[in-house]
Amino acid sequence: MNMTMIERAAKAVFDVDHPEAEEEEWENATAWYCTRARAAIEAIREPTPSMVGAATGVPIQSNVVSETYVLDDEATAIWQAMITAALEENGE
């Protein structure tokens, strides 16, 4: 089974908190850490202005136009769609 983005974030924090932990300890703590990872991911749904700025103007390829650029609203929508997808993953 693949780990979801929430599980990956939770495991990363668990590993920082418990660098010497056994797999069984992670299995027992997964729900607790996933709850907190979900909250953190939900908190970053709205990108900061610098995040939008980093994506704005990035060239993208399109079938309609040979080259176009990401706009502010598009960057925000893309980021939010990715966060929503991460929150809806089921790990299958």
Look at residue 1 in the predicted model and tell me its pLDDT. Answer: 60
Q: Are residues 58 and 87 located together in one domain of the fold? A: yes
pLDDT tens sequence across 46-76? 999 888 888 887 776 655 555 667 778 888 9
pTM > 0.85? no
Residue 35 structural domain: 1-43
Q: Are residues 38 and 64 located together in one domain of the fold? A: no
Say which amino acid occupies 35.
Answer: T
Looking at 1-92, list the stretches that DSSP marks H as alpha helix, in order from N- to C-terminal side. Answer: 5-17, 23-43, 49-55, 72-88
Residue 38 in this model has a pLDDT that exceeds 60? yes
Q: Are residues 69 and 86 located together in one domain of the fold? A: yes
Nearest CA among 50, 49, 34, 51 for reference residue 86: 34
